[in-house]
Amino acid sequence: MTTTLTTRAIAATVAAMLAAPAFAGPTYENSTGGSFTWYGQFDPAFQYYDDGAETYSRLVDNSGSNSRIGFRLKQAYGENTLTFAFETAFGLRSSYSVNQTSKGDNVSWSRTNLRHVDFQFDTARYGRFSAGQGSMASDGIAFADASGTGLAAGTAVADPAGGYAFRTAGGALSSVSVGDAFKDYDGSRLGRVRYDSVNFNGFTFSASYGTDILKTNNDRETYDVAVRYSNDELGDFGFDAALGAAWTEETGKADIRDVAGSFGVEHKPTGLSLTVAAGERDIAGSYAYAKLGYSANLISAGSTSVSVDYYDGSDMVTSGDSAESWGIAAVQKVDKYNVEAYLAYRDYSYADTSATNYQDSNVILAGARWKF
């Protein structure tokens, strides 16, 4: 792919987003403390993948923050609030699902694209109680991030190109995909019951039990717990951290215990930030991830953020294997239009204990997210 083609693709994506009207979903309120709000986002991207032998250019939906739409119904009951939330992805072709042999369908919606269909009851004294399809307690624990580039680069390093297979030194497609070799062990969304505590000096505690209600013939059961801490007033610093563990049982599969955590710290006077994450699966592998970021208001349109990151994993596919990835990313906010334009480059390498050698690969992802 030439530099001209890359530039044109980025320009076309950003121009399309800037041509969209700038508005947020309206909120309608009644006289008894009730409200209805709808919202969404559109996140198209241009993906260019080089597997060491062939290159592939695709228009995709960014798996790191996919296109979606939803609404919330809220009703106050004294100091408490009942909320019904509905949210679904559009089912557009994702950056994670395409590979060397398949572009996939432009649009393929199924019920597994439902992200939230749940009730939440927020109490002032006892915390939040949730029931329905939605985030488990450990969802998001691996993604504490103060860099401003989480849209384009984060702990889930496989998101830009997870479906592509590594090529062997001889040029053949292997059975190992990017998604196989690079895991984050973050929590999931399931049909669940969940409890979140009130805030205790910046700490919140969560627990949930869930099962995969969106798939047929599935008896997966997951239990998890998590603790989060957030404080944006530590002198010149802002700090976010999360830690969680999840236990999963499913007929015909080995029981799994995942542990993952992350923290992000920002030095507000300089705009410098550090993000660190790590995770482990008891019957599989482990990883560590680190990112250095910088954010500043360089232009009047909005903040500019850049970052460089590194991921190191082992034993993800087979015992003794290793997976490494590094990336650079930039995100430019355009506040007037609720747009974030981004450009990211990521390199992947994989090795195992077999006689097979694997070629390194890389991906470029360029796009823009418009929130409405």
Q: What pLDDT sits at residue 25? A: 62
Backbone angles phi, psi at 37, to 5 degrees: -135, 130
pLDDT single digits (tens) 116-143: 999 999 999 999 999 999 999 999 999 9
Q: What pLDDT sits at residue 247? A: 98
Distance CA 285, CA 181 (A): 9
Domain residue limits, the chain = 3-371
* Residues of the chain below pLDDT 70: 1-25
Domain boundaries 3-371, CATH class? mainly beta
pLDDT single digits (tens) 16-50: 444 444 445 678 888 888 999 999 999 999 999 99
Distance CA 280, CA 268 (A): 31
Q: What pLDDT sits at residue 31? A: 86
**Residue among 310, 240, 296, 302 nearest 268 (CA):** 296
**Residue among 45, 49, 6 nearest 361 (CA):** 49
Q: Would the pTM of this model clear 0.85, i.e. be above it?
A: yes
Q: What pLDDT sits at residue 148? A: 97
